Structure 1
Amino acid sequence: MIKQSALAAEYVYYKDKVSRDADVHALARDFAKAKERFAECERFGRFHPDYNEALDRVYELEARLEAIGPVKQYKEAEQAVDLLLHEVSLVIARAVSDSIKVPDNNPNPKGCGSGGSCSCGGGGCG
């Protein structure tokens, strides 16, 4: 059912579009090289003479890559499918028990995850 959804079809369409885009491949190669260079600098921390330059280059290439139309559309489609899958997982989990934790990709999750009464704002605490 999910695999045949419009969201999944859009995701597959943009994934294919990105995989066929020569500009995306070239920029992705440059981005990978920049990340490797930064990883070498990062071994020595911010005291490495090229640390800031390497980090700036990674950010620059990442922004250029994400500004390409098909990449932006692919990421939006990916997030939509991820949200759908999370909602389905949540419905299934809640059908079993309200205490089942359902992971998601939220970079700022609520609660501490301890299950204690810490008043952190999470569903399982206090």
Structure 2
Amino acid sequence: MIATMEYVDILDRSEELGRMVLDSDVMEAYNQSQKELNQDPKAQELIQAFSDIKTHYEDVQRFGRYHPDYNSIMKEVRKAKREMDMNDKVASFKIAERNLQQLLDEISNYVAHSVSEQIKAPKDGAALTDSGCGCGSGGGCGCAS
């Protein structure tokens, strides 16, 4: 591809936009909350506990409700997730993450619609949401879970 001045200008402006995002208050809040989360031993313990139980959950999901440990693992996963989510550092990190994602979604939407209204762009934090099914069939129904 031959670089034209217009192409170079677009790249320069996109780099400038990236620098603006990196220098924003939203990004600063995200970095600060991530640092606090990483330095909090209790939060790290809760995250590790959730991660450990999640591996068992993934094994159980292959068989769905027919797995003998299905009910106990499902309860343990929900309990571990709730404990993790109730931690102040985890909660503030998730809020900062959501705010950053919202900023990036708004920028993507603005850029996409400045080109054409028909271009699809992420919105409403679509990158942070799951498929919404959660049926527990291990994907047997065709959903993404």
SS at match of 1:82: helix
Q: Output one character per residue of 1:61-108: Cα deviation in whole Å (capped at 9) or x when no partner.
A: 111101000110111111111111111111111111111110243349
Alignment RMSD: 1.5
Equivalent AA in structure 1 for residue 26 of structure 2: L
Count of residue pairs brought into register by the alignment: 108
Unaligned runs of 5+ in 2: 1-19, 131-145
TM-score, normalised with respect to structure 1: 0.79
2:62 alignment partner in structure 1: 43
Structure 1 or 2: more helix by fraction: 2
Q: 2: CA distance between counterparts of 1:69 and 1:3?
A: 24
Structure 1 unaligned regions, length at least 5: 109-126
Highest RCO, 1 vs 2 (Cα 8 Å, sep ≥ 6) = 2
Aligned to 2:28: 9
Q: Could you tell me which amino acid in structure 2 is paired with residue 12 of structure 1?
A: N
- State the match for 2:76 in structure 1: 57
The whole-number CA distance in structure 1 between the counterparts of 2:113 and 2:63 is 47
Cα separation, 2, equivalents of 1:86 and 1:62? 26
Pairing partner for 1:86 from 105, 112, 122: 105
Q: Secondary structure at the match of 2:122?
A: coil
Q: How far did 1:40 drift? A: 2.2
How far the C-alpha of 1:14 sits from its partner, in A, is 0.2
Displacement of 1:16 after TM fit?
A: 0.6
Matched, 1:102 2:96: no
Given candidates 16, 26, 49, the residue that maps to 2:45 is 26
| One-letter code aligned to 2:41 | A
TM-score of the superposed pair, with normalisation by structure 2: 0.69
* Same amino acid, percent of matched pairs: 29
